[in-house]
Amino acid sequence: MTRLAVFDLDGTLVDSRRDVAQAVLHGLAAVGGNAVQETALYACIGRPLDDIFRELLGGDDDEARVQRAADAYRTYYFDHCADHTTPYPGAREALAALDGRWTKAVCTNKRTYMAKRLLDLLDLSHHFGVVLGADDLPHKPDPAMLKSIMDRFAAAPATTVMIGDTWMDVEAGRRAGAKTCGAAFGDGARAELLEAGPDRIIEAFAELPDALRALTGE
């Protein structure tokens, strides 16, 4: 029986706030958008990139401008994605503790190539059998990405856990029939995460192995 732990990336495995925010600011500047405080952008992390720029550009319906901002973001972020980004405390140890006992994957609203690059730079890639981003599949909270990962490993919903810091992760997990674990230490709005009602909440990575055992009876 496959036990599958599927992780969100930004705000769950890694604290990427500064690098993401700097890339968003670069994208805004590229299209003449108004600058905003870096810290005000942290709440945007995890949302689809086009939606972020539409909002920051004042609901701009000029899709070409939105795409130029997003392209500028991606070009900048590719070179600077690991300038300040680090795994959350205890992430490396928790992943190592699951090696050989759990199949692990990443399910992110980033594009796949960018998620893989970041994991490579942080020396985390070897922990994951699959890294899947929202390239050709809908963004979370749509469950399509998570279902695709489950299908690849023939993992049953009862032994699959979606781990993430936002309501979108919880909703994607629920709609895929999987168990859900909220990472309350991440970037997502805590109130929204709690309101989404994950099956378990962890306040630190040290709590993850026990949470997984409780959820699946491992």
pLDDT tens string 169-218: 999 999 999 999 999 998 777 889 999 999 999 999 999 999 999 999 87
CATH superfamily of 4-15+86-216: HAD superfamily/HAD-like (3.40.50.1000)
Mean pLDDT value across residues 25-47: 90
pLDDT of residue 60: 66
Of 10, 15, 19, 187, the active-site residue reads 10
43-68: average pLDDT: 87
Residue 195: both structure tokens together: 């309101």
d(CA 128, CA 92): 12
Tell me what the mean pLDDT of segment 149-175 comes to: 97
Helix H segments across the chain? 17-30, 49-56, 63-80, 91-98, 112-121, 144-153, 167-175, 190-196, 208-216
| Residue 10 appears among annotated catalytic residues | yes
Q: How far is the first Cα of the chain from the last one, in angstroms, to the nearest whole number?
A: 11
Average pLDDT, the chain: 94
Choose the catalytic residue: 8, 15, 19, 187.
Answer: 8
Domain boundaries, the chain: 4-15+86-216, 17-80
35 φ, ψ to 5°? -70, 150
Residue 47 has pLDDT above 90, yes or no: no
CATH 3.40.718.10 fits 17-80, yes or no: no
- Output the pLDDT for position 125: 98
Q: Which residues contact 64 (CB under 8 A, 6 or more apart)?
A: none
